[in-house]
Structure 1
């Protein structure tokens, strides 16, 4: 059964049940340190994934096993909603998998708790140079890599061309250099509000649930930060922080978004776009296949707006080995293999995700579905700065997320001004990090 990306976004489960699956059906392959080493042993690898993602992992496993006679990788595919409950229980019981997949905003909690393998002694020379500076920054803890960045994603704006045309918006940015400024986005939103049917809104923002980290895109666009380089000291109580809160709060004051478009809403922003309730939605590239197969209107994609500078969220996932693995060399070898150029390109093109290797950002990447959208998402990802991604890798990120949600919703719903919001955020972040 084909998995809906919208269902996946809502964490309704990527596959039916956990099971051990050997890789199958790959043609060709290239790799990192694991290619042709003759390494032996068995690795267990736990992940969630869409159909395309799981197929990509199986292909990579098959190629790795072919290149390493005597090596076996057992893939344990679980629903996303069970993934980290299972991992946490296994870590506590002392029987975790050798390798698992983890979002960047969760990575720091595991690395900071000493539960991941420091890959420094086990990686091939020059591995760092195979990744973008931004991606490499996202897998660091105390100056060492505790994972490899497998892919990323970042939010651009999907738009309903029919609704924009009806409101007289016929010109959308076609290059990252021409992206709307915050002021221009506001002008577009006002025109849409005036021209759209009753009950239809200019846009929705995808900051629901743990997606509240996507609000940080606006903070970065204001040239702000929420953590210092020590990943502990809060910096959000600043002019940039107040500017980002004020701008995002204006979405609600001006009626640009539905009242329900809060961080704690049970309705995901993408669902309002698919239903025709909003004309535009912030969304990652992973949404493209669903839009192609489901949307009953003509649509396109353009760039997120620019404030003081461009910016975006650093989404996606890393692959990590657990500290408890009995096969550290083999685990590192497999991680290098899966993140090699050929493997990453095939995975990202099939799953509509963005690579973390600069040698795939030269125009050679093309999504299998709606390939014309590839360059927009690649260009948007180029707006993410290394210092932005490094903050999200904080070991305290899981405790910071509830602080952001509580304080932002207070500002969005009108009970708290921007100055109070960032002051409360700073205190909550300090409590979370122990600063």
Structure 2
């Protein structure tokens, strides 16, 4: 299956203690060695680079664990979760599958995933960043491992910015444009461009509506309470985020079709040079490098009260039905999240690591390595309290609320107060259903 990063733009929505993989087994503690033999079924989607990374990791795992085998089943993203849901219902799910963080909570909350807390050794969590580990928790227990992440920064058309006199591009997260500075840049672009072109596009289409939450986090806000039991969006931060983002449309800073329910992805407008900038994940870099004929670069998303960003990417989870293979699963999860495997996977697929040591030391993308610090730095803006909310078991229902109510604000022109009231009511209903 061939899937470009551009095709995934709308579907994809940051000191480690290493585990030992020795010879024929996974060593969860100094006192106990358990067998890592048997066969695992593993279902995923992916770009060519991602699938190549998985195959390389699987080959290394099988070599390190004689008697083990991992059968990789690659499916189109559009079929991935309808297949998984049907298999779960029929009682024949794969042992392991890949899942976006914003979907993880629904499976964990319904009791469909394997609780890994009894099978992962003490200290396993230490290899990951706090925000990554928070994204695979349900009820304080891990039901998956954070395999990689991605987050949205700004890709820009250099000539378009030059023509507008915008030449001071932030090169450090601490120097990212404030909301006011970002608006000023956008207004300069608006004045410098013809009516049919726009300053920027935002990648919040489809399930990517979770990326709107970045603006909420940048105002140091929440959409759920700390125990994830109720809405917390009725706040000054929530009102600031709604007010700022809905102003993009009447001020003509984004194309009219850049709403959350648009069938056109924001990246398409940037590719055809209808927009000068676009919010995008790092996984777009290889495809953009191959396809674009203009000079382009990347800079950080704007900040308000603080820097903030979306926690994209995917986890690896095991189904509860695979409990009899728990030690083999734990060994496989340990292997694919080791330093060498994660660095190789992320560098070649232009994705971001979830290991704390790789985040601290940085990685270099195989394509456009000079852009790596922008995306690694942007991912560091995610806080554990942000990613933990997205792991809510009710996130799928919350996504629908965000889509409906933000569309009414962006396209329908509904005011901020009414939008916040509707978001609060909808989120409360979603989490109590």
- Same fold, judged at TM 0.5 (above): yes
SS of the aligned residue for 1:197 comes to coil
CA deviation string 1:394-426 (max 9, x = no partner)? 000000001001110111124311111111111
SS of the aligned residue for 1:149 comes to strand
Alignment partner, residue 338 of structure 1? 336
Task: Tell me how far apart the structure 2 counterparts of residues 34 and 430 of structure 1 sit (CA, whole Å).
Answer: 45
Distance 1:182 1:10, change over 3 A: closer
Using the TM superposition, give the Cα deviation of residue 2 of structure 1 relative to its aligned residue in structure 2, in angstroms: 6.0
Task: Tell me how far apart the structure 2 counterparts of residues 129 and 168 of structure 1 sit (CA, whole Å).
Answer: 46
Please give the residue correspondences for 1:38-53 in structure 2 after superposition, counting only pairs within 5 Å. Answer: 39-53=36-50
Alignment partner, residue 309 of structure 1? 306
Which of 167, 173, 176 is the matching residue for 1:176?
A: 173
Q: List alignment gaps of at least 5 residues for structure 1.
A: 13-30
Paired residues of 1:274 and 1:295 also in contact (CA < 8 A): yes
Alignment partner, residue 398 of structure 2? 400
Alignment of 1:54 onto 2:51:
yes
Paired residues of 2:3 and 2:46 also in contact (CA < 8 A): no
Which of 317, 320, 323 is the matching residue for 1:320?
A: 317
Which of 349, 365, 368 is the matching residue for 2:366?
A: 368
Alignment partner, residue 377 of structure 2? 379
Paired residues of 1:35 and 1:337 also in contact (CA < 8 A): no
Alignment partner, residue 188 of structure 2? 191
Paired residues of 1:262 and 1:409 also in contact (CA < 8 A): yes
Q: Identify which range, 263-272 or 36-45, moves more after superposition.
A: 36-45
Q: Structure 1 runs of 4+ off > 6 angstroms? A: none
Please give the residue correspondences for 1:93-132 in structure 2 after superposition, counting only pairs within 5 Å. Answer: 93-132=90-129
SS of the aligned residue for 1:153 comes to coil
Paired residues of 1:34 and 1:330 also in contact (CA < 8 A): no
Paired residues of 1:261 and 1:267 also in contact (CA < 8 A): yes
Which of 142, 157, 171 is the matching residue for 1:160?
A: 157
Task: Tell me how far apart the structure 1 counterparts of residues 424 and 294 of structure 2 sit (CA, whole Å).
Answer: 43
| Equivalent residues, number | 417
Using the TM superposition, give the Cα deviation of residue 232 of structure 1 relative to its aligned residue in structure 2, in angstroms: 2.2
SS of the aligned residue for 2:69 comes to strand
Task: Tell me how far apart the structure 2 counterparts of residues 285 and 224 of structure 1 sit (CA, whole Å).
Answer: 25
Using the TM superposition, give the Cα deviation of residue 4 of structure 1 relative to its aligned residue in structure 2, in angstroms: 2.3
Paired residues of 2:348 and 2:365 also in contact (CA < 8 A): yes
Paired residues of 2:362 and 2:376 also in contact (CA < 8 A): no
CA deviation string 1:308-330 (max 9, x = no partner)? 11100000000001100031111
CA RMSD of aligned residues (A): 1.4
Alignment partner, residue 356 of structure 1? 354
Distance 1:401 1:35, change over 3 A: farther
